[in-house]
Amino acid sequence: MANYNGQSFWVLFLFFNICSVTCFYRSKNSGNTYQENNPDVLLNSFQLIQKYNYYGEEHFVVTKNGYQLKIFRIPKKGPPVLLVHGIGDSSDSWLVLGPQHSLAYLLADTGFDVWLFNARGNRYSKTHIKTLSRRLYWDFSYEEIGSEDMPATIDYILSKTRHSKLTYIGFSQGTTVFFVMCSMLPEYNSLINYAILLAPVAWTKNIKYPFIDFFSRNLNDLISFDKKEKIYEVFPFNKNLNIYHSSVCKVNSPFKLLCQLELYLNFGLKTFTNLLPDRLPVITSHIPAGSSSKTFFHFIQGYGTKRFQRYDYGKEKNREVYASSLPPEYNVSLITIPMTLFVSEVDWFSDTNDVEILRNRLKTVDKYVVINESLQFTHLEFVYGSRVNTIINKPVINILKTLTNI
Ligand SMILES: *[C@@H]1O[C@H](CO)[C@@H](O)[C@H](O)[C@H]1NC(C)=O
Ligand SMILES: *[C@@H]1O[C@H](CO)[C@@H](O)[C@H](O)[C@H]1NC(C)=O
């Protein structure tokens, strides 16, 4: 291992991540294939809402430190529900399957007032009230999303809707930031009446992603390289690259093997059609949507330290920042919100053993839904799966209906 420098880590990291295997293929002739694609490939969240005859709104939230977030809404008379996307993703994730399968539309059909979050750094939330250097702007991990973006968004929604509480639905990192907020700022517990946590991620020591061990062992080199090369933003939304991504990720694409390989290596997806086949180009044209490198580093740290804790800067700087050489853990026992956890036995990122650690500390788990391994339900399928209606959406809507008598 001694010969690997930061550069090779970074190249590998990029190569094997979100769209890199697929995007590696760039056909000069693929220009014509754009037309064959579903027109939804090119639409942003707002346009996807409008296109299917829902009324959409854009709202701007400013965090206490000046980050500007663009969030979307499908306003209805019912109680507010906030949907929170995963890492490197955006509000698009709740819309790209279209009105028959995506949770945002289905909740709106049921009468809920639907709000779609966008974390700082993704395609919709990339501005700041001040002119910050890139280094300063991108100096955040999931902690700041949970402790700054999320409270600002919740305050905003409650003040707009004049409701005293909202319902929270998060997927993957969208659950991590929930745990961070509710443990660091326990006063926010009283503003959420219920949480649905899809593929919850807190402890990450059992992550099954094939390269996690490699990244974990070489993390310090990777972080130094990243600093030296000033790579602060990772997997930004890039329209052209994402169109290539979607032209390869079609069931009838001659190059679909690349897409299958990407989805297998990154998420363990063996059956291509388990992602909704006619929407696959729409899904893949919307990811990645952008994140900070520090967010990835923070998750990788959790694999090595086996703790769900604040960002580790090394002993010396930790003493400065936290007044202790070890970063403090997030105390999830402080959470008082009733919640349902949905986990799948074959999920690489929300491993059932890790969720067990989490569940032992949580005091208010209302329901715990385990998706049997025989279903081979992988991480992305919680939002993009062809079976999402029966396994996730219908049960979720039923829980929320009983809760609110809507
Ligand atoms: C975490 O919170 C629980 C519940 O309030 C408390 O009993 C416990 O001491 C806290 N743990 C730490 C490490 O602060
Ligand atoms: C899960 O699936 C296996 C087959 O893979 C089956 O033997 C088992 O009974 C199932 N468990 C539950 C709880 O349904």
pLDDT tens digits along 83-142: 999 999 999 999 999 999 999 999 999 999 999 999 999 999 999 999 999 999 999 999
* Of 161, 166, 192, 165, the residue nearest 77 (C-alpha): 161
- The DSSP H or E segment spanning 246 is helix 239-248
Here the CATH number for the domain that contains residue 51 is: 3.40.50.1820
- Using only the alpha carbons of the chain, give its radius of gyration: 20
Question: What is the predicted pLDDT for the residue at 242?
Answer: 85
- Give the pLDDT confidence score for residue 132 in this predicted structure: 94
The share of the chain scoring above pLDDT 70, in percent, equals: 91
The sign of the dihedral angle between the CA atoms of 265, 268, 273, 276 is: negative
101 CA to middle of ligand 2, Å? 26
- pLDDT value of residue 180: 98
Which band of pLDDT confidence, cut at 50, 70 and 90, is reported for residue 12? low
Note the ligand closest to the C-alpha atom of 362.
1
- Each residue's pLDDT tens digit, 292-337: 999 999 999 999 999 999 999 999 999 999 999 999 999 999 999 9
**Per-residue pLDDT averaged across 231-242, rounded?**
88
pLDDT digits 0-9 by tens, 162-214:
999 999 999 999 999 999 999 999 999 999 999 999 999 999 999 999 999 99
Closest-lying ligand to the alpha carbon of 370?
A: 2
More confident residue, 26 or 361: 361
Task: Name the percent of the chain lying above pLDDT 90.
Answer: 80
Of residues 176 and 19, more confidently modeled: 176
What secondary structure, in 3-state letters, does 104-144 show?
HHHHHHHCCEEEECCCCCCCCCCEECCCCCHHHHCCCCHHH
Burial of 25 (0-12, 13-18, 19+ CB in 10 A): middle
pLDDT at 260 over 60: yes
User: Is 400 a member of any domain?
Assistant: yes
More confident residue, 256 or 323: 323
Q: Which residues line ligand 1 (CB under 6 A)?
A: 331, 333-334
Give nearest CA residue, ligand 1 atom 11. Answer: 331
pLDDT at position 10 over 90: no
- Please state the domain count of the chain: 1
**Domain annotation covers residue 215:** yes
Per-residue confidence (pLDDT) for residue 239, from 0 to 100: 85
Two tokens at 261? 């390989």
Ligand 2 pocket test target in 343, 368, 369, 372 with most atoms within 8 Å of CB: 372
**Whose C-alpha lies nearest to ligand 1, atom 5?**
334
CA of 331, closest atom in ligand 1: 1
Q: Show which residues are catalytic.
A: 172, 347, 379
Residue 4 confidence class, pLDDT cut points 50, 70, 90: very low
Range of 66's domain?
A: 6-404
- In this predicted structure, the answer to whether residue 1 has a pLDDT above a threshold of 70 is no
DSSP 167: E
Q: Are 186 and 334 in contact (CB under 8 A)?
A: yes
Domain contains 177:
yes
Does any domain span residue 1? no
Cβ-contact 171, 86 below 8 angstroms: yes
pLDDT tens digits, one per residue of 105-117: 999 999 999 999 9
- pTM attached to this predicted model: 0.93
CB-neighbour burial class of residue 133 (10 A; exposed 0-12, middle 13-18, buried 19+): exposed
pLDDT number for residue 2 = 34
Is the pLDDT at 18 greater than 50? The verdict is no
Stronger pLDDT, 27 or 232, i.e. the higher one: 232
Cα 279 to averaged position of ligand 2 atoms, centre (Å): 30
Helix or strand run (H / E) with residue 213: helix 212-217
Identify the residues whose C-beta falls under 6 Å from ligand 2: 372-374
Is residue 187 in some structural domain? yes
Does some domain include residue 250?
A: yes
Which atom of ligand 2 is the closest one to the Cα of 370? 13
Q: 17 pLDDT band (50/70/90 cuts)?
A: low
More confident residue, 33 or 285: 285
Q: Is 106 a member of any domain?
A: yes
